[in-house]
Structure formats: structure tokens, C-alpha cells
């Protein structure tokens, strides 16, 4: 019969994909939270498959800016990191840039939240050198996908060790 899940399996990344109208229910754990904005079903599936193999962080995938902002509002800043598509639906929100991703990256940088961008458009077109907003990382679709996944894992590790340090300081 099916084997009971060991403690190992229980820690694998929990991945939540929100439908367009759905509201985010904040995660209850103390793990890092990765927010992904992506509206391409094929890429959402790829994130699910590739990130499902890792452990120690939680993932929420949203398809529009309304949901993305909601996740940012309800997740402690020190736990959150983001991978943003460049061109995704606004969900009715107002943007002052060509793409939702540009607006969102600016908001995240102003809050000090780590954000990587994954885009089919060249970086210089969206974030010109010397421009006022630059993401923490940029990955060209589709060939940058593998590097993006390893950067996600590294970032989750960094946040996890920072959270552990903060906890020690708080308890000390």
C-alpha cells in the first residue's frame, strides 16, 4: 500500500496557486515565502514541478497584480521574496508604467523586498541601465529558467538563516 509520508516529505515546499478571483490565505509557518507572479499556465506548471522538489520554504503563485499586492500586504516583509513576470494582468489595479512588472518591482524595492524578474523582454528595455529601479536579479525566458530556480533556492536559504538568527536574538 502507500507508504506513510516521512518527516522529510512533510517539509517539501508547499505550493499554492491562486485562481484569478481567489484571496490569499497567509501561510501559518515561520518559513520563507516565495511569491511568484506568472499568468502563463505552462510556466506555472513548470514552477510547480521544479519547486516541488525542494523544501524549507512556501510558494504562492498569483496571476495578477491585485493578488500580488495582497500577498505583500499580508506576509511579514522579512520572510518574503519575489519572482515577478514582467507582463502580467493588473487585475484592475492602476499602473503608471508600461508593464505591471515594472510597477510591482518599484513597489517591492521601495519596501526593501528582494525581487527577481523573469521576462521574455530584454532587461535593458524594461529596466534601462542607470534607471531609478533595478531588480535584484533578472532572468531571460526561457533559457534563464534553470539559473532562476537555483537563485530561488539560494535566496530561501539566506532568508531561513536570517530568520533563525533573528529568533535567537529575540529569545536571547
How many whole angstroms separate alpha carbon 65 and alpha carbon 8?
A: 34
Is the pLDDT at 1 greater than 60? The verdict is: no
Residue 71 phi, psi dihedral angles, 5° rounding = -60, -45
**pLDDT (average), residues 62-83:** 97
Residue 129, SS3 per DSSP = coil
* pLDDT digits 0-9 by tens, 41-61: 999 999 999 998 899 999 999
pLDDT above 70 as % of the chain: 94
Q: Write the Ramachandran bin of 118: left for phi over 0, alpha for psi from -120 to 50, otherwise beta.
A: beta
pLDDT band at residue 33, thresholds of 50, 70 and 90?
very high
> What's phi and psi for 68, nearest 5 deg?
-60, -45
Average pLDDT of span 70-98: 94
Residue 134: DSSP 8-state: -
Mean pLDDT of the chain: 90
Mapped onto helix, strand or coil, the DSSP state of residue 112 is: coil
Sign of CA dihedral 53, 58, 61, 65: negative
Query: pLDDT value at position 2?
Result: 53
3-state SS class at 99: coil
Q: Residue 11's pLDDT band (boundaries 50, 70, 90)?
A: low
Break the chain down into helix, strand, coil percent, rounded to 5. 40, 20, 40
For 5-17, what is the mean pLDDT? 68
On whether the pTM is more than 0.75, the answer is yes
Please tell me the predicted confidence (pLDDT) of residue 86: 93
Instruction: Report the pLDDT averaged over residues 11-27.
Output: 89
pLDDT digits (tens, 9 = 90+) for 122-141: 999 999 999 889 999 999 98
Amino acid at each position: 500500500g502507500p507508504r506513510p509520508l516521512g518527516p522529510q516529505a512533510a517539509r517539501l515546499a508547499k505550493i499554492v496557486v491562486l485562481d484569478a478571483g481567489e484571496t490569499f490565505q497567509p501561510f501559518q509557518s515561520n518559513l520563507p515565502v516565495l511569491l511568484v507572479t506568472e499568468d502563463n499556465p505552462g510556466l506555472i506548471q513548470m514552477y510547480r514541478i521544479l519547486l516541488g522538489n525542494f523544501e524549507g520554504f512556501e510558494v504562492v503563485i498569483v496571476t495578477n497584480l491585485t493578488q500580488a499586492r495582497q500577498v505583500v500586504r499580508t506576509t511579514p516583509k522579512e520572510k518574503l521574496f519575489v519572482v515577478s513576470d514582467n507582463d502580467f494582468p493588473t487585475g484592475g489595479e492602476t499602473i503608471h508604467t508600461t508593464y505591471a512588472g515594472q510597477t510591482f518591482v518599484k513597489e517591492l524595492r521601495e519596501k526593501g523586498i528582494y525581487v527577481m524578474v523573469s521576462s521574455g523582454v530584454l532587461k535593458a528595455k524594461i529596466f534601462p541601465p542607470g534607471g531609478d529601479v533595478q531588480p535584484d536579479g533578472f532572468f531571460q525566458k526561457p533559457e534563464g529558467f534553470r539559473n532562476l530556480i537555483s537563485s530561488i533556492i539560494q535566496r530561501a536559504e539566506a532568508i531561513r538563516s536570517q530568520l533563525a538568527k533573528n529568533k535567537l536574538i529575540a529569545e536571547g
